[in-house]
Structure 1
Amino acid sequence: MQASTPNKAIIYWLLSGAILILAMVVIGGITRLTGSGLSIVEWNLIGGTLPPLSHEAWQVAFEKYKQFPEYQKLNKGMTLEGFKAIFFWEYLHRLLGRLIGMVFIVPFLYFLLTKKLTSWLFRRLLIILALGMAQGLMGWVMVKSGLVDNPHVSHFRLAAHLTLALALIGLILWTVADLVTTRRQGTRRSSLYRPALLVLGLILVQIILGAFVAGLKAGFSYNTYPLMEGEIFPAHLHGHLGSLLQVLENGVAMQFAHRWTAILVLLAVGWLWYRARYTVLLPDAQTLLSVLLLVCLLQVALGIVTLVKAVPVSLGVLHQVVAVVLFSAALLLLHQLRHCTSR
């Protein structure tokens, strides 16, 4: 049941949390693209809040890093100053994770104790908190996958980590939309609801493929577009991808899938926009649909430039941010289409 007078403090709190999670995604992207994600080799929830504060403490952290494959196989001979540079981004990523936890838990307890939470909102917030804890745990599980013989995190775990971030942002935005939306009498689900759900699903698949590409470092393999060094699909891979697992673990195959799923998403969004011309929609839904189309066009163009430029950090991170915006626009449009037309 919708709250008749939405609590602005709760709405602002939730939106601030979503913004912080987006910042976490940005710093996570920088951490990955700068090769910083395996610089902190242990998880210490309390003691890890402060960075090394003395030369001796830095030496201890550096010596721990030297015991693991990334240093031994990729960064042999790295100086202490070089270690400090990669340590910074991973430390900032973890510190922001701790801050997000505090930003959620402390106000949640305040709103709970002051009885400002309705029953449905309380249950929704518990799910958000559970997802937040799962996100933190998955982050460490992901890092652990790179502390073994192969000094690279599992792209499957990277995709799970990003998907949990999207789930958090999505559930927060859906909750805010529930709080601010007044359901009108006599309305019903739009005929565009299922097509919009399909578009949202395709966007999510595309983002997961992007995580696979990132985790496999496949963005550096073929930096021409639309062909891959003159071929639609590299001939040398024919006959070498016998199983689904082999496909999912092959960076070139994932780059190919990511390239063409982007076009599929763009066509699906264009089709949805075209169909909406013959459907009665409320102004908010019409605005979101236009935003969705414009962001999708921007994201495809940005993806092509990022690929051709061989994934510079700035473009790679921006591409990831726009992906979150695209996902959010599609999700909010879906929310609007649940109860937006009397036809």
Structure 2
Amino acid sequence: MLASKFKYTKTIRSWLIVGLIMLVGQVILGGITRLTGSGLSITRWDIITGVIPPLNAEQWLEAFELYKQTPQFHKINSLFTVQDFKFIYFWEYFHRLWIRSLGFIFLIPFIIFVFKKQLDFYLIKRLVLVILLTILTASAGWIMVQSGLVNRPWVNAYKLTIHFVFAILVIWAMVKTIADVYLPSTNKINFRKPIVSMVVGITFLQMIFAGLMAGMKAGLYYPTWPDMNGEFIPDVLLKSANWSWENMINYDTYLFAPAFIQLTHRMLAYLLGALTIYMFFKLKGKVEGISKIWLAISLILVLAQIVLGILTVLYVKGKIPLFLGVSHQLVGLLYFMNMLFLQYSFRKNKA
């Protein structure tokens, strides 16, 4: 069902696009924060006072002393100086500041537009959903951070994945809102074609495994391609005794979970690549307008994503390469958004 015939202003349309761009930026900043090991540098979540970073040497030492109490400092970064700490603090601070800015840029205009009656009830409902999901994402983020402040020097992989999935759901809701506002035109195609929905579903599943890959640092264990340390299927996965929930939980002390997650992530990537190529050739002569553009972009993005994934694995040198890792995450997110826009562009325009 598409939005009503309510005419949205150019300002509102542009505001929605800016909101989507900022949401994508927030996810990418989260990726940078994770890859630089910065996520646990700020040990408190102060919604108001946390906007102001340390401003002098005494405040920096105070923040550093709090960080010294974390497992990450004791087990990994015990040689850190204040200067080293400032680097990781910057990324986590920027990550939190961005979400605060997003709330400011998104929430205040929303209230103004509602007050001026420039939004209909349909769009208000959609945007309230986006706001609620954003709050849930932020809450899951803090729960995730807390999981790394006790015992383990890293955040819990499953809590990180929940945080990431909530962020993806926020973006999904925003894409749906924008698609409804812009009212895509009708295509001469069976609107119930299952291939696009299938690719969207598998892509969402792949995003879940991407979160687990990141949380478990699974990419570090098998930095080879096309094999996995000389094996197509790691030997640890071929032993039935290893298939237990306990091994999935203890992913940082036993190899089973990282091997399973990385193998599944690779297989899903190959499947998505094949399905996207099939979808492109099946639909390219049947779609028109903006749908044709979304379709072409989907093929470009999936091929780029596979290449980036391979390069990221091959260039692992004790840690995930920052540029390749972030690029891999960004292109994957763009591919998912592109597929959503493609799917929504196939709906009949009832306006």
Q: Report the TM-score range of the alignment, normalised by the length of the smaller protein.
A: over 0.9
Percent of aligned pairs with the same residue?
35
1:187 offset after TM fit, Å?
7.7
Q: Is the 8 A contact 1:139 1:161 kept in 2?
A: yes
Q: Is the 8 A contact 2:315 2:321 kept in 1?
A: yes
Aligned to 1:339: 348
- Structure 1 residue aligned with 2:337: 328
Do structure 1's residue 315 and structure 2's residue 332 form an aligned pair?
no
Partner of 2:84: 82
State the Cα distance separating 1:332 from its structure 2 match: 0.4
Aligned pairs for 1:46-65 within 5 A: 46-65=48-67
Partner of 2:196: 196
Q: Where do 1:86-125 residues align within 5 Å?
A: 86-125=88-127
Q: Distance in 1 between matches of 2:261 and 2:236?
A: 15
TM superposition shift of 1:331: 0.3
Asked if residue 142 in structure 1 is aligned to residue 144 in structure 2, the reply is yes
Deviations 1:35-54 (A, max 9, x none): 11100111110111010111
1:237-295 CA-to-partner distances (Å, cap 9, x unmatched) read 432532356357411211111111100111111222232146x3232212211111111
Q: Conserved in 2, the CA contact under 8 Å of 1:225 and 1:304?
A: yes
- Against the structure 1 CA distance between its residues 80 and 182, is the aligned structure 2 distance closer, same or farther, given a 3 Å change threshold? closer
Shift of 1:313: 0.2
- Measured after TM superposition, the shift of residue 148 of structure 1 is 1.0
- Give 1:89's aligned amino acid: W
Tell me the C-alpha RMSD between the 2 structures: 1.9
5 Å matches for 1:266-285? 266-277=273-284, 280-285=286-291
Q: What is the aligned length?
A: 337
| Cα contact 1:188–1:338 (8 A) shared by 2 | no
Give 2:96's aligned amino acid.
R
Asked whether 1:300 is paired with 2:306, we answer: yes
Whether contact under 8 Å (1:189, 1:339) holds in the other structure is: no
| 1:31 counterpart (25, 29, 33) | 33
SS in structure 2 at match of 1:77: coil
1:189–1:338 CA contact under 8 A, matched in 2: no
The answer as to whether partners of 1:299 and 1:319 remain within 8 angstroms in 2 is yes
Q: Secondary structure at the match of 1:52?
A: coil
Q: Give per-residue Cα distances to partners, 1:14-34, cap 9 Å, x unaligned.
A: 111111111112211111111
| 1:51 and 1:91 in contact (8 A); partners too | yes
Provide the rounded CA distance (Å) in 2 between the counterparts of 1:241 and 1:3: 57
> What SS class does the counterpart of residue 35 from structure 1 fall into?
coil
Contact 1:266/1:296, CA 8 A, preserved across alignment: yes
Measured after TM superposition, the shift of residue 5 of structure 1 is 2.8
- Hey, what's the Cα distance between the residues in 1 that align with 2:282 and 2:174? 28
Partners in 2 of 1:200 and 1:71 — Cα distance? 40
- Please tell me whether the aligned partners of residues 40 and 148 of structure 2 are also in contact (alpha carbons under 8 angstroms): yes
1:288 to 288, 294, 306: 294
2:23–2:171 Cα contact (<8 Å) kept: yes
Q: Hey, what's the Cα distance between the residues in 2 that align with 1:48 and 1:4?
A: 40
Counterpart Cα distance in 2 of 1:99 and 1:182:
30
Q: 1:193-237: per-residue Cα shift (whole Å, max 9, x none)?
A: x22111001111112111111111111111111101211112144
Residues 119/245 of structure 1: CA separation in 2 closer, same or farther (3 Å cut): farther
Q: Give the aligned partner of residue 247 of structure 2.
A: 246
Is 1:10 equivalent to 2:16 in the alignment? no
Using the TM superposition, give the Cα deviation of residue 337 of structure 1 relative to its aligned residue in structure 2, in angstroms.
Answer: 1.7
- Once structures 1 and 2 are overlaid, which stretch shifts more, 20-29 or 232-241? 232-241
**1:217 lines up with 2:217 in the alignment:** yes
Task: Determine if the alignment matches structure 1 residue 262 to structure 2 residue 250.
Answer: no
Counterpart selection for 1:154 from 142, 156, 177:
156
- Whether the 8 Å CA contact 2:130–2:174 is kept in 1: the answer is yes
User: 1:2–1:182: 8 Å Cα contact kept in structure 2?
Assistant: no
Counterparts of 2:290 and 2:104 in 1: how far apart (Å)? 33
Letter in 2 for 1:114: K
1:227 is paired with a residue of what secondary structure?
coil
SS for the counterpart of 1:338 is coil
After TM superposition, the score normalised by the length of structure 1 is: 0.93
Deviates more, 1:286-295 or 1:109-118: 286-295
Could you tell me how far apart the structure 2 residues matched to 1:3 and 1:183 are?
14
